């Protein structure tokens, strides 16, 4: 006896009038095959079901349409001289079979995958990176590109692995927010391998990459000038740092370029106004809620506390709001606040928060445009593109010259 025996499957379908569901019809075609030697049962479909289940190929499409494989490929790829009637017949055959072209194989032939890799350093609860990612995806879509997104959590090793993975996916180019690291060999290797790289938000000094950044120095300097024009002379600065070891306002070398520039801008604004060092209160801390809240409390508990706190990002501004709320302090009266990046909540709460606004959507759009330009013309020189910031003054900064604030 053959080790394989077949028996019809019992008809378990329920007839509804004269109608059977497609699932029931398919089930009735299945045969149970018992593999005695292995003491198991394998469900196999009939030959016609097997044929329908396998992925159709371009050969199947060509056969159904009655044309050659080359003609079918040209018709679906919309290249070469093909009669409109033939194109229509091939497209109908492809649709009937459920044919989907192998995009990876096509990409290997022409050298373009129409994909961009995005290496981002934080999660999408960060409003800046959420908005810039959306801008990148939207702009890429306009040019027929898809975006593959990875998140490194500010970890240089994860960044290296992410870049390698995206390169294995044959992306045409990379947009990278670089983590704080002393080794960017993986980016250099990618560029040497012919993959254009566009940096956003952060620059890498002395490395040959085009970067789309904002003028954080001028933004911070203008924010300090604004506060001083309203009578503030005791200034608090809450600065995010991946590592707080050996970082001070006078030696901020371990900061990413954006935070470094903001720190320099804050310092320049205070220096130009003649603010004494004893009236500048600097705290560098990890960008994490508990650390930020402890830092805010430390600023407010000093003998001569600052009348205003500048934070280097939105998350730290939220820490100021939380600590102030717990202490029954009113923003814009008891303590003033300025932060970086505009957001819906900053404009919606009362009082509205004064912000150093960056052109987030423009960063994303320009990054895609410049990257696609480099993909088309790899020989372009690299440059640092600096976009201006805008100070949006709201009511979170008190005017200490007004009646009621003169004792501050």
Domain check: are 14 and 126 in the same one? no
Q: Classify residue 404: in a domain, yes or no.
A: no
Q: Is 202 helix (H, G, I), strand (E, B) or coil?
A: coil
Q: Which two three-digit tokens encode residue 273? A: 């106004």
Q: Is residue 406 part of a domain?
A: no
Q: Which residues contact 346 (CB under 8 A, 6 or more apart)?
A: 314, 317, 339, 352, 353, 355, 394
Residues 222 and 340 in one domain: yes
273 and 340 part of one domain: yes
**Which pLDDT does position 301 carry in this prediction?**
97
Say if residue 245 is in the same domain as residue 353: yes
Strands 235-240 and 390-392, by their bridges, are: unpaired
pLDDT score of 363: 98
Residues 45 and 95 in one domain: no
- Both 244 and 332 in a single domain? yes
Clarify whether residues 234 and 329 are in a common domain. yes
Q: Please check whether residue 392 lies inside any domain of the structure.
A: no
242 and 302 in a single domain? The answer is: yes
Residues 20 and 41: their CA atoms lie apart, in Å, by 26
Q: Does residue 408 form part of some domain?
A: no
Last residue of a domain, one of 16, 36, 52: 52
- Complete DSSP assignment for 347-377: HHSSSPPEEEE--HHHHHHHHHHHHHHHHH-
pLDDT (0 to 100) of residue 299: 97
Both tokens assigned to 293: 């809240």
CB 124 within 8 A of CB 130: yes
Domain final residue, candidates 319, 343, 358: 358
The CA-based dihedral angle spanning residues 259, 234, 358, 128, taken in that order and rounded to the nearest 10 degrees: 60
The tens-digit pLDDT sequence of the chain (408 residues) is 444 333 333 343 333 334 334 434 433 333 333 333 333 333 333 334 334 456 888 899 999 999 998 898 888 877 778 899 999 999 999 989 888 876 555 555 556 789 999 998 766 677 899 999 999 999 999 999 999 999 988 888 999 999 999 998 889 999 999 988 778 888 988 887 888 999 999 999 878 899 999 999 999 999 999 999 999 999 999 998 865 555 666 665 578 899 999 999 999 999 999 999 999 999 999 888 999 999 999 999 999 999 999 999 999 999 999 999 999 999 999 999 999 999 999 999 999 999 999 999 999 999 999 999 999 988 889 999 999 999 999 999 999 998 666 545
CB 110 within 8 A of CB 141: no
Per the domain annotation, does 109 fall within a domain?
no
- State the CATH number of the domain containing residue 75: 1.10.260.40
Q: Is residue 343 assigned to a domain?
A: yes
The CATH number that applies at residue 244 is: 3.40.50.2300
Residue 106 inside a domain? The answer is no
| 271 and 368 inside one domain | no
Q: Which domain holds residue 62?
A: 55-101
Q: Rounded to an integer, what is the distance from CA 356 to the centroid of its chain?
A: 21
- Longest CA span, the chain: 105
Co-location of 71 and 33 in the same domain: no
Rounded distance, CA 231 to CA 399, Å? 6
Q: Select from 52, 73, 92 the last residue of a domain.
A: 52
Q: Number of structural domains, the chain?
A: 4
User: Using only C-alpha atoms, what is the Rg of the chain?
Assistant: 31
Residues 6+ positions from 34 with CB-CB distance below 8 Å? 4, 5, 6, 7, 41
CB 240 within 8 A of CB 286: yes
Is 22 within the bounds of a domain?
A: yes
| Residues in Cβ contact with 353 at an 8 Å cutoff, skipping those fewer than 6 apart | 317, 331, 337, 338, 339, 346, 347, 394, 396
Q: Is the pTM of this model over 0.85?
A: no
**350 and 224 share a domain?**
yes
Q: Is the same domain home to 220 and 326? A: yes
């Amino acid at each position: 006896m053959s080790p394989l025996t077949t028996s019809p499957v019992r008809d378990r379908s329920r007839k509804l009038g004269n109608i059977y569901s497609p699932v029931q019809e398919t089930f009735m075609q299945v045969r149970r095959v018992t593999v005695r030697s292995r003491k198991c049962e394998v469900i196999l479909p009939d030959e016609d079901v097997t044929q329908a289940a396998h992925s159709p190929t371009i050969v199947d499409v060509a056969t159904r349409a009655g044309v050659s494989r080359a003609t079918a490929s040209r018709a679906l790829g919309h290249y070469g001289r093909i009669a409109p009637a033939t194109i229509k017949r091939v497209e109908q055959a492809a649709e009937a079979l459920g044919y989907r072209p192998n995009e990876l194989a096509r990409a290997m032939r022409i050298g373009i995958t129409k994909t961009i890799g995005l290496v981002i350093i934080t999660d999408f609860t960060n409003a800046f990176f959420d908005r810039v990612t959306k801008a990148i995806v939207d702009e890429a879509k306009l040019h027929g590109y898809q975006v593959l997104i990875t998140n490194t959590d500010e970890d240089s090793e994860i960044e290296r692995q992410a870049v390698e993975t995206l390169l294995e996916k044959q992306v045409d180019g990379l947009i990278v927010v670089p983590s704080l690291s002393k080794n960017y060999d993986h980016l250099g290797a990618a560029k040497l391998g012919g993959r254009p790289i566009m940096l956003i938000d952060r620059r890498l000094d002395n490395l040959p990459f085009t970067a789309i950044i904002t003028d954080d120095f001028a933004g911070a300097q203008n924010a300090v000038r604004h506060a001083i024009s309203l009578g503030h002379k005791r200034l608090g600065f809450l600065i995010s740092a991946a590592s707080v070891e050996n970082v001070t306002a006078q030696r901020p070398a371990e900061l990413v370029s954006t935070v470094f520039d903001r720190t320099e801008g804050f310092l320049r604004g205070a220096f130009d106004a003649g603010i004494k060092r004893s009236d500048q209160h600097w705290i560098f801390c990890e960008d994490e809620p508990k650390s930020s809240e402890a830092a805010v409390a430390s600023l407010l508990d000093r003998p001569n506390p600052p009348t205003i706190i500048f934070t280097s990002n939105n998350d730290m501004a939220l820490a100021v709001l939380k600590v102030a709320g717990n202490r029954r302090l009113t923003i814009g009266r008891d303590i003033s606040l300025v932060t970086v990046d505009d957001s819906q909540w900053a404009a919606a709460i009362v009082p509205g928060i004064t912000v150093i606004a960056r052109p987030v959507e423009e960063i994303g759009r320009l990054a895609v445009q410049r990257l696609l330009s480099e993909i088309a013309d790899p020989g372009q020189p690299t440059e640092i593109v600096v976009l201006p910031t805008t100070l949006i003054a709201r009511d979170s900064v008190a005017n200490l010259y007004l009646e009621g604030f003169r004792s501050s």
